[in-house]
Structure 1
């Protein structure tokens, strides 16, 4: 097992990833990006559910799976067998972190619960991810991103006021839960350096979904009712959102009164709007957006996007084109930043993988390992960490344990 990089912050930390789908695997991937050695455990035949989601990349991977599983080893173990459960326990004893999102009580049935594992490993950091509070009445309910987006009020704040509730384009609750989970694990790793003791980090999708409501959530509490929905506009700042130029959409973010004056005089050449008492302050512009925004739409709509961006930039007003997803991923900005990497794939020829977003001491951590093929590291891991012989591993494979 040679994917370690001693220059990364989590080099020497081993993570046993017993999770599947997105929130748990995302947490493990974040730790792997920062240098941890991540061992992902999957079912020998099916693998992670997401190996069957999205676009196919070779025989056992997909675009969905690859998005959450870079910098990992794949080990296949049938956790429904007694020998498989023992192998997982043995791997947990040699790991610093265990991540799991089994159904409520599922880890305990397999002998892989926190209270069971910490008996032999008091320094273990264990992260449980569930849909709802594990100590509450809904502990046994399965957690799904889309369901939580509805229950946490997230769908109610998206889209236009005249449209029905709208989900995020990506599984935002899962992704935020994965990142929050990684933060909890990192804090526990830091504490363990002083105390030598582990922690049980418990994360719920609903809790994290509610946190994403952020300032919208607090505004709803102050109002005593749902906040209004503004689509691509900002609820508090005007003008701030997506506008349609003559040849395509762009984002314009006028963040203060001085910027608004420059916007009116230098960009759209409408000094009368800057001088109008209704629009001198942002509070006034927000109150009178129904009058102001149509005027801005007309002025922006008769100008070329390139001209507007040049003028906005000269005036010091943040702005940018609205690109398609493929345009963004293949843009010079993404290429120069090294955000999309290409790796050799044994069957597909090559596979593209997004790079970690961090820069540490000026350098982006490398994608040390492309997302693994199902079970490609089983023999290596069982041999190097558990000392199993080739004969023992072959027997386990024949018996369907690994």
Structure 2
């Protein structure tokens, strides 16, 4: 059995952060049943451009493999009945909605414990279910701004800049998955579930990590750096070679000594101004012109083999295609394929979460309401019961 094959999760999820978090749980074997609101066409991720066909997009395919879909209008009495029957037979309710919505639609532990005392309710919201920003919508870009990320990113002479990926969304998905697994462990140990109140805001602020410690403890004022340089480790940044860019990092003193040997600049290694982390940081304006001139004098094909042979942390700055073509990606099982009736073979990256043998039987993301029969059979509903629920608007109109 896969690690989570005995776990059933009801997911009221949409867009990126929630589906990203739960796709890793699905990859680990959890049965993830997406509850899609028929009034809005289901998960809005289905319609994200540019690669869209009807109710399916490659964006949606990325975050929803190995899941099931049920169209269910839980605002109706009939839809709520089906939802509550699912709660009785499931381990967790997973959602990513605005902070005030879980209470409004009744999906917190306090709302569901009478149905299943061991249910774990994981709510991933923009700002959390408490605090003055509780009712505000939260999106990755907004959170990168409010949490200070953009003030740290970009060129010093340019505008504040967001990261190239939705890292608040994705990091929050991982945090929610970790929180859910902790809740499931406690529920199975104690027989009592509870709430996981996770937010994009909490995740984004927590990821400020050591710059936050420096700022609060020592009055540090972060600034954006040239060439994506580390704020204190020198050298640790991008350098331009004759035909492209590379990253070189000296996070240990031994790497600095190896670097000056590769560059054939023993004089830099012997220079007292550059003899330690602190001194290289203090004298970076004197040191970096030497390093930039050295790297600019030759090609990536010259420098990278020498740096790697010497054990100096380094890499080319790849584009996306180059990154995916690296043999390491295939060797680590990070590239997977699913078959789709419109898109054909969908190639995508897999989960980095590891335990036991890797999964190879990935299923495409579900069509909307594709698994109604499976779910109603799971709940033991007769055909007449299903028809009555449908007539009452449980599955939309």
Q: TM-score, normalized by length of structure 2? A: 0.93
Report the CA distance between 1:82 and its aligned residue: 2.0
Residue correspondence of structure 1 range 2-401 to structure 2 within 5 A: 6=1, 8-44=2-38, 46-56=41-51, 58-230=53-225, 231-265=227-261, 267-361=262-356, 363-366=357-360, 368-383=362-377, 385-390=378-383, 392-393=385-386, 396=389, 401=394
Gap regions ≥5 residues in structure 1: 1-5
Report the CA distance between 1:369 and its aligned residue: 2.2
Q: Residue by residue, what CA displacement relative to the aligned partner does 1:347-386 show, whole Å, maximum 9, x if unpaired?
A: 222222321213323x323353222222211222122x22
Give the conservation status (yes or no) of the 8 Å contact 2:47–2:57: yes
- Report the aligned-residue RMSD: 2.0
Equivalent-residue separation in structure 1 for 2:84 and 2:78 (angstroms) = 10
Report the CA distance between 1:107 and its aligned residue: 3.5
Name whichever of 97-106 and 242-251 sits farther off: 97-106
Equivalent-residue separation in structure 2 for 1:135 and 1:357 (angstroms) = 32
1:68 match: secondary structure: helix
Report the CA distance between 1:392 and its aligned residue: 4.5
2:35 match: secondary structure: strand
Name whichever of 192-201 and 221-230 sits farther off: 221-230
1:15 match: secondary structure: strand
Residues 260 and 103 of structure 1, relative CA distance in 2, 3 Å threshold: closer
Report the CA distance between 1:162 and its aligned residue: 1.9
Name whichever of 83-92 and 61-70 sits farther off: 61-70
Report the CA distance between 1:225 and its aligned residue: 4.8
Q: TM-score, normalized by length of structure 1? A: 0.92
Report the CA distance between 1:210 and its aligned residue: 0.2
Report the CA distance between 1:57 and its aligned residue: 5.2
Report the CA distance between 1:40 and its aligned residue: 0.7
Give the conservation status (yes or no) of the 8 Å contact 1:11–1:35: yes
Report the CA distance between 1:399 and its aligned residue: 6.3
Gap regions ≥5 residues in structure 2: none
